[in-house]
Amino acid sequence: MKVIDKNKLSIAFTDKSLCTRSGTCIGVCPTQALSIGKEFYPEIDPEKCIECGLCAKTCPGGRVMYKDLTEITFGHRKDSETFDGYVSHTFVGHASDKQIRQGGAGGGVITALLADLLDRNIVQGCIVTRMKPDKPWHGEAFIARNSKDLLASQQSKYIIIPLNAVLQEIKKEPGIFAYAGLPCHIHGLRLFEREQPKWREKIRVVIGLFCASALEPYVAEEMLECRGIDKKSLKNFHFRGGEWPGRHRAILNNKQIKNLHYSNFKDGAINYLTYLYSPFRCQTCIDGASEFSDISVSDAWTRNEQGQYLFQSQSKLLVRTSRGLEVIQDAIESGALIASDVTQNQHYQTHRLHTRKKGLTAPIRVERLKQAGKTVPLYDRTCPTKSSRDRITEWLESSIMKAGEKRSIRYPLFKFLTSRYGIPIVKLRQYIKSRKYRKR
Ligand SMILES: Cc1cc2nc3c(=O)[nH]c(=O)nc-3n(C[C@H](O)[C@H](O)[C@H](O)COP(=O)(O)OP(=O)(O)OC[C@H]3O[C@@H](n4cnc5c(N)ncnc54)[C@H](O)[C@@H]3O)c2cc1C
């Protein structure tokens, strides 16, 4: 068998733990030597590989150079030095179409923007995701060409999806595309744009999702198992189905809908999932805000002093580039998006939880693991100043996440926490949160 120089390949072939499973190497390969393999890691057909090195140059796994990404996206090399990244405008809003709004994870704004671009023929397709029609416990990337496709792409799928693998498909096509993805996907896409600048025009707009962590691809299967649901009876899997903020639920072939946990997504399951199912590479990612997108979208979790949500079923949009601003203004003008400009309101300028989790805890983790001789992604951003309390928090979180790697620990724990016996813990959490908001 042909032997390939591993330095010419993406990081998955030398250190799997650093692979983001973004699918970039698969999407950029000029000879289709790479494909999606087990657990969404890339696999190689050595006979097809020509050792061009493109997959190594565009790999977002082992090295994330903020200065380079800043230059590709914004045309200069100065670090924003904030966790939110470069932001010119902030909006809060929702899709004006009722179906799109209700179908969204937040206010359906990503879908509203993409639908507007398609309607006005600015783009001919959108790179998005859905749960696999034949295996609805896994996600997949696809190209949406009309509003029906876009409706199928709605919702956050809190799982690893090698989105960029789909670039392979549009390479052969003329036309302009829009793109919605997670921070790691966007890192890979931007590096590809650096190698082949024509892609900067082919992908007209890059919409980034805020991301605390994706989850291991086996999470949905384990959730079904916890509730005794046979995979074969599954028609679809919703991470945030039903009334906002939604619930994880199974849609069965006989049209029955089964909730997979008590409480809602925000107060219940997601808090456990991000500890027990977070991949190692996500734990060491420091970009939670999709800093290199044209527009970043997050949930508008802002609460009032009573701890109630101010913007139910809405999303927050951080505009980073003139392309991003144009897309939003056009969508407001065409009536696809209803949004208010809240740029001047300090309240919307940062995300406390994210600033902590990705802006502080993740860099501390990277630094600690590096000192302990472990392989971690290389960043050109220095770790922020931290207190002993910050270090202890990081260590505790990391210990829980480490325990989550063992099924014998995570499965019974998750089953208990998401059962009715876990409700007192949810109530306690809600009480602590409401006290925090009252104190402000
Ligand atoms: C893994 C993950 C982690 C997240 N973490 C946070 C967080 O910590 N804080 C926060 O405020 N928001 C987070 N979000 C974003 C948030 O959940 C909403 O997706 C966002 O507010 C957009 O809502 P919407 O109603 O406008 O989008 P919708 O109209 O529902 O459209 C969602 C879009 O996101 C795309 N998408 C969904 N899942 C994936 C995926 N796995 N990979 C690539 N693209 C995907 C879809 O293809 C679709 O285009 C996360 C999303 C994901 C997928």
Instruction: Give the C-alpha distances (Å, rounded to integers) separating 305 from 175, 315, 436.
Output: 49, 20, 9
For residue 260, give both structure tokens. 């997979």
> Closest Cα to atom 44, ligand 1: which residue?
181
> Closest Cα to atom 12, ligand 1: which residue?
298
Instruction: Name the band, by pLDDT with cuts 50, 70 and 90, for residue 304.
Output: confident
Instruction: Name the band, by pLDDT with cuts 50, 70 and 90, for residue 353.
Output: low
Instruction: Name the band, by pLDDT with cuts 50, 70 and 90, for residue 349.
Output: low
Which residue among 113, 114, 156, 313 has the greatest number of ligand 1 atoms within 8 angstroms of its CB, and so is best to mutate?
156
In a domain, 39, yes or no: yes
Residues 249, 256 contacting (CB under 8 angstroms): no
In a domain, 257, yes or no: no
> Closest Cα to atom 17, ligand 1: which residue?
156
In a domain, 13, yes or no: yes
Give residue 436 CA to ligand 1 midpoint distance, Å.
26
The reply to whether the predicted model has a pTM over 0.95 is yes
Indicate which atom in ligand 1 lies nearest the CA of residue 129.
47
- Looking at the 3D structure of the chain, how many domains does it have? 1
Instruction: Name the band, by pLDDT with cuts 50, 70 and 90, for residue 82.
Output: confident
For the chain, the farthest-separated pair of C-alpha atoms sits apart, in whole angstroms, at: 66
In a domain, 102, yes or no: no
pLDDT by residue (tens digit) across 144-191? 999 999 999 999 999 999 999 999 999 989 999 999 999 999 999 999
Domain of 16: which CATH number? Answer: 3.30.70.20
Has residue 241 got a pLDDT over 70?
Answer: yes
In a domain, 353, yes or no: no
Give residue 209 CA to ligand 1 midpoint distance, Å.
5
In a domain, 35, yes or no: yes
- Say how far apart CA 252 and CA 236 lie, in whole Å: 7
In a domain, 55, yes or no: yes
Give residue 110 CA to ligand 1 midpoint distance, Å.
9
Give ligand 1 pocket residues (Cβ under 6 A).
Answer: 104-111, 128-129, 139, 153-159, 161, 163, 180-182, 209-212, 214, 297-299, 315
> What's the whole-number average pLDDT of the chain?
94
pLDDT-wise least confident of 19-23, 266-270, 327-331 = 266-270
Give residue 46 CA to ligand 1 midpoint distance, Å.
35
Has residue 354 got a pLDDT over 80?
Answer: no
In a domain, 47, yes or no: yes
Instruction: Name the band, by pLDDT with cuts 50, 70 and 90, for residue 437.
Output: low
The confidence score (pLDDT) of residue 429 equals 81
Domain that holds residue 47: 6-63
